[in-house]
A and B are shown apart, each in its own frame.
Chain A
């Protein structure tokens, strides 16, 4: 006979405002098998949990239902409390009467009725819950970091410094990411290269870090503590062991007019190239799309001039499998481009800004490369069309960001600050120049940020015009900017020599396909979703996977580095344990009923179903049945729904439990 205890939480006013919690508790008391029901202001608080524990002891409760928030929020909290009171934690269920009831309904009567019914369903379910033992699994103390920008670098260094092995995978030929492209950084105007490159070298030299550049994640199997990651090491066409990084091949390559994407296509590079001089590792890659050898079979100059004989045209992609215990995703961002977007895309382009037809309309990253001492112009601000120094530069903010009509509603967070920085860099290099900024709002939250922005206006004489730009067009060698000044209420026309667009931050292209490999969720823009916006900002809902940097949402460098270190700390916490407790939600086979059809094996995505032979005492084989390896099973339950003889059961989600809920309807 079960003695269920029902605990109804007010959640301050959050539940009690729309749900009559007392009535819910009184109704619960009447349900068969319920021995005790009460309501309390904050069940999750210390006194609330105390109340729960005391009731379990005093009322000799056998099962517990806590009617409060979503189980995704506090299931662990209450299961832990129940365990401390001496009950098996899986004899506790949560009835979600906040997210699924009080917050989404206004009518008190309706909401109260619904809450009573939800509690009723969970009471029926919990009565069928069984005692489940915790399953422990070993932890592989090696981490995978995906992405070698500042986020990935920071996370990898932190984990490696704590004494754990790290595998760092970067898609491009060099680590460094976007930060390596920047000229100087706000609000201190530190040279980006100066603070970034030492960290890149640290990664290369760290005894605990294995670096795979020009590599991508092919496949991810397993679960927290025990992932198997397949990495595709793309063919570099250069032997990493033999290459000394002398760079002779780069200078001799006849195909040397290829736009350099690291310099936003301003400069050129050869077909065999390193993306930038400080690249880590300093090993070239052959761009097979542009290489004459790969296109026509002729040439081969680089191979001839390479002293150590490192160039290898026959090299193939290699697949490596790495066992890891935790994964940090730090894939960063792409910049929104103003080009026409594919038909049907929710995100629109900016036809009115010239579709990239006007050469002197550039984006912020291109301006960074112009201003960078290591850039294609050696740090001189020269405009792309004729290489002249611009006198009047117009900066346009929120291109893509906060533009609902273009399909992006969020703020990209960093553009206000980097545009202020651009006006300063421009003024420092072109003393008689004039910068204009079209802006909606200046958003400068951050330490010393507002002071920095003010400096761009007060000391560097940037003219800020509050308003939007409607059109850009070429007139002679000028770009005419047509906009409005809403503070004064007039139309403005500026003949600019150069226009710089502060384009929105978007997730990496292909972020969705990586998420699908990892089994993590993402939002409509394809930014990765954290487990909880406030309390679990670096964890994914998928255990053992953590987020760092702009792949989760627009972020500046200080925020990115903080989040990367936080993700690293989470990984270290995980690695501090020898054994890991995991939810005992796994499938079990009834050997009596199983007929050995192995339909379950066909649908199991994890290969958890094995064969088990059953012998009689005379050594005769009776039958072969399915056996689910609890270490491999992830608990999806597809096998149970598939099994024709109903011989598989998923602990925690048995047919009995589900049917009990439906019957409570």
Chain B
């Protein structure tokens, strides 16, 4: 049945970094089970969450993502035994840095979704999309990227002073 959907003023862009063994497969299962969720998410597949460099998250925000999801196997279930533990430690530290540079952590979600948890995948994606939609677009990084593009360098008085001091 086709239902007319309520129109939204703002459609957020969500990028999801997922591991191939658990979450990618879980998202596949959501498809084969014909579950429905918002069309805002774009997936980037990795062998393991352990492969995900925090820089990718920054890069995603910089490229205009309004929300980022990182999802892999449940602790203990990693196909590569410990990759998700490394990821968890890395992102626990990285969140602090993100917060420090002024990213609202509500835009970033970590979750564990197994290959069997199609329902959980739908829940996580829907929840994040709705949350980010309510928050509105993520401007800070886009503006920063633009500024960099136009001027070739960042020109804050502090930086300028620092450059001159060298």
Residue ranges of A at the interface with B (Cβ–Cβ < 8 Å): 70-72, 96, 98-101, 103-107, 110-111, 113-114, 117-118, 121, 515-516, 519, 521-524, 529, 541-542, 585, 603, 605-606, 634-638, 640-642, 650, 653, 655, 658-659, 661-663, 665
Contacts and interface: CB of A to CB of B under 8 A. Distances in A.
Q: Size range of the interface on B? A: 35 or more
B47 A640 contact: no
B17 to A, nearest CB: 9
Given A99-B27, A521-B25, A635 B47 contact: yes
B43 interface: yes
A104 B82 contact: no
B15 A665 contact: yes
Contacts of A107: 5, 39
A572 to B, nearest CB: 25
A541 B25 contact: yes
Interface of B: 2-3, 5, 13, 15, 20-22, 24-25, 27-28, 30-32, 34-37, 39, 42-48, 50-54, 56, 59-60, 63-65, 73, 76-83, 86-87, 90, 114-117, 122
B50 A661 contact: no
A585 B47 CA distance: 9
20 contacts: A70-B31, A72-B25, A103-B34, A104-B37, A107-B39, A114-B39, A521-B73, A524-B116, A529-B115, A541-B115, A603-B50, A635-B47, A636-B51, A637-B83, A638-B48, A638-B83, A641-B90, A650-B47, A659-B59, A665-B64
B46 A521 contact: no
Contact of B35 (A104, A542, A658): A104
A603 B50 CA distance: 9
Given A121-B42, A521-B114, A662-B44, A634 B25 contact: no
Nearest to B89: A603
A531 B77 CA distance: 16
Given A605-B83, A642-B86, A662-B15, A99 B53 contact: no
B28 A104 contact: no
Nearest to B82: A605
Contacts of A99: 27-28, 30-32
B86 A521 contact: no
B63 to A, nearest CB: 5
B5 to A, nearest CB: 6
B31 A640 contact: no
Contacts of B28: 70, 72, 96, 99-100
A201 to B, nearest CB: 39
A634 B80 contact: yes
A653 B51 contact: yes
B160 to A, nearest CB: 29
A637 B51 contact: yes
A613 B148 CA distance: 42
